[in-house]
Amino acid sequence: MRQLYSIIPVLGIALIVASCWGRVLVKKDEVLHDRLIAFSGITPFVVLLGFTGIWFGFGKMACGPVFLSGMTCVFTLLGVLSVFRDVLTKRSSGVSGVLLAEARDALFLVVASVYSFFALDILWNETLFSLQFIFVLVSVVSLFVFYLFLYFIGQRTGIVVSLGVVVFTLTAIVQYFVVLFKNSAILPSDIFAIGTAAAVSSGYDLTLTKEALWLLVACAVVLFLLEFMAPAVGDGKKRAGIFVAANTVCALVVGGSALACFNTVDLADTFGTDKAAWQPLVSYKNQSFVPSFLTLAQRMRVKAPAGYTQGDAELLEATYAAAYETSVDPAVASGASEQFTDAKPAVIAIMNETFSDLSLMDGLGVGYQGPMYLHSLADTALAGNLSVSVHGGGTANSEFEFLTGNSRAFLGVAVYPYSIFSLADVNSLPKQFSELGYKTTAIHPNLGSNWNRNKVYEELGFDEFIDIEGFEGAETYHAGVTDAATYDKVLELLREDYSPQFIFDVTMQNHGGYTVGNVAQNLPQFDFPTAGDSLDAQMNEYLACIEQSDWALADFIEELRALDRPVVVVFFGDHQPNISAEFNDAMYTGEDEVAHAERIHTTQYFIWANYDIAGNDQVSARDDLSTSVLGAKLMEIIGAPMTDYQKATLAARTEVPAINSVGYRGTDGLWHDLTADDRAKTVNDLEWLQYLNFGSKV
């Protein structure tokens, strides 16, 4: 029956076509040019009628035949009127005619801008009508400037402006489906994944709701109004060439000014827009689509270093890689490589949420000893402090550094790669392991949309992503699913499939804040001399979480000792809790700013195996690393094949042993400012290498 009703829009198309023939009969002497212009206006309405007929026939419209008939009537009426739109208006000549035409066009541009603002949010944003006025203003003004540019490009007609309206309407509908199916938002980086999105869209139910259908009706009305935009004919009509040139100049001025504004006016600093990094959808809802999208777009720019050329960068990488090759013992490297090829050990990477050993802060002034099992683990292949680029949050940035080997030292503290870049062309550990025949799995017991992981993990090369839906009924502690539950999931994967596996486990239980009051069973009772009662309670709650993590880690490692297959574990904390900054400020005064900041940008790591790694005595050798080189160091220790970029970053450690978003450590053991004019040449070299392997690919 739906197929039968889908004929209704076809009748509308027939009426529009009939009106065209009616015009031919009425205006027999009309020149072909004017006739074609009149007929061109029916295009959007014929397309809309054809689309609704097909979509309704496939059952992809949440409406009945009555609503379909109403839509058909509207589209048909607008199509018929568009055929005779020249007789609906009277053009006046002279200065007054020009001014009236410009006023009319300005009004229609405002209408298109306001429509697009509402269209982009109304289908999915329940907070649309409670937005702050500044965000509404930024949205409408931005859209108006964009449409003004299109207006001049289209020679002061509504043709190109109409295309913009169509694009924003389609974007609005796509955004609705992205929210519905992904609980996420369209990000600037998604522009680079349109092909992938189109390829997988067939797996979703793309049924249009009545709200979406009403949006199509509103779009049709706006498109009809824009058909009346046409240049007025003045008394001294200029040649077409001059007219086109003048409009082109206007378009360049508007476009150039807009681009200059975009490059110089930081939306986050000027208008208080959120960087939309944690859960992009939340920020999109709070400040609307346009400001959120533009704010993220401003942070997509990765500039090439001064004097950079790809050829010189490739030569630099080869030089550092060769230096690395000559620095290693060939017998040790060969033994580890042969062992890896034969054993193909499972590799488990655990990034533990907010895990850090705060005993490094002079025992927090109370003799705190840190996580006991972590300190007692005596057979690690390597362990030490880890210089991370975030503090108190920004988990995904630590993931990014570990998985890709790139440092946020050269991206800026406001850049969140997971939210603003397409990482499909960037090399990563899961891609490397996949090429070695490994199955790659990411685990995170929370929403897959957090930090855009449900998209990014696929781009990074993971075969499977187990999010919160894979932990139904799991035990929880403090902020969520326990570390132990995620370790059980890892063990399950290892026991069910003995083929080589790379598993990346991002835990959740220790996530802030620390005023929840739900960890009383093992709550420490430290009275910190440098903190007030509120911070006392928060730090004790945090330390309780770390103790729980330490116990779970102990059980996990002991389970792996007994597992009948070779397994390697790299364990590290993503960042310290936000409260550590207040202890740092209270306990350490008057010291160098970079060194002071680095203390709270320090966590711990270790690399451990349940078998004897060739060339490694596994007696807890220590080396303080950066998150961005931890992956390369892991590959080196276990004898896995490394890229030239990984070899180069390890070779650079002879001059720059550690680097993060705060600074770099030199051969003098001191931390230095990244922005200093006299920074080490090796830092500049690392920036070149990173642009070659990351900046030029996003």
Instruction: Return the DSSP state at 155.
Output: T
Going across the sheet that includes 671-673, the strands are 658-659, 663-665, 671-673
**Mode of pairing for the β-strands spanning 567-573 and 663-665:** unpaired
Instruction: Return the DSSP state at 266.
Output: -
Res 6: pLDDT: 86
323: exposed, middle or buried (Cβ count in 10 Å: 0-12, 13-18, 19+): middle
Q: Using CA atoms, how far apart are residues 628 and 693, in angstroms rounded to an integer?
A: 13
Q: Using CA atoms, how far apart are residues 660 and 283, in angstroms rounded to an integer?
A: 27
- Phi, psi (5° rounding) for residue 215? -65, -40
Can you give the pTM of this predicted structure? 0.74
Instruction: Show the tokens assigned to 14.
Output: 């027939």
Res 235: pLDDT: 43
**551 by DSSP, 3-state: which?**
helix
Q: Closest by alpha carbon to 182, among 279, 310, 104, 115?
A: 279
Cis peptide before 256 (omega within 30 of 0): no
Res 277: pLDDT: 53
pLDDT digits (tens, 9 = 90+) for 520-551: 777 888 999 888 888 899 999 999 999 999 99
**475 by DSSP, 3-state: which?**
coil
DSSP string computed for 276-336: --SSHHHHHHHH-HHHHHHHHHHT---PPPTT--HHHHHHHHHHHHHHHHHHS-HHHHHHH
Res 234: pLDDT: 45
DSSP string computed for 203-243: GS--PBPHHHHHHHHHHHHHHHHHTT------TTPPPHHHH
Residues of the chain with confidence (pLDDT) below 70 = 1-2, 33, 88-94, 182, 189, 192-204, 232-239, 275-279, 413-414
Q: Closest by alpha carbon to 314, among 691, 698, 566, 655?
A: 691
Instruction: Give 603's strand partners.
Output: 386
Contact 183, 281 (CB under 8 A): yes
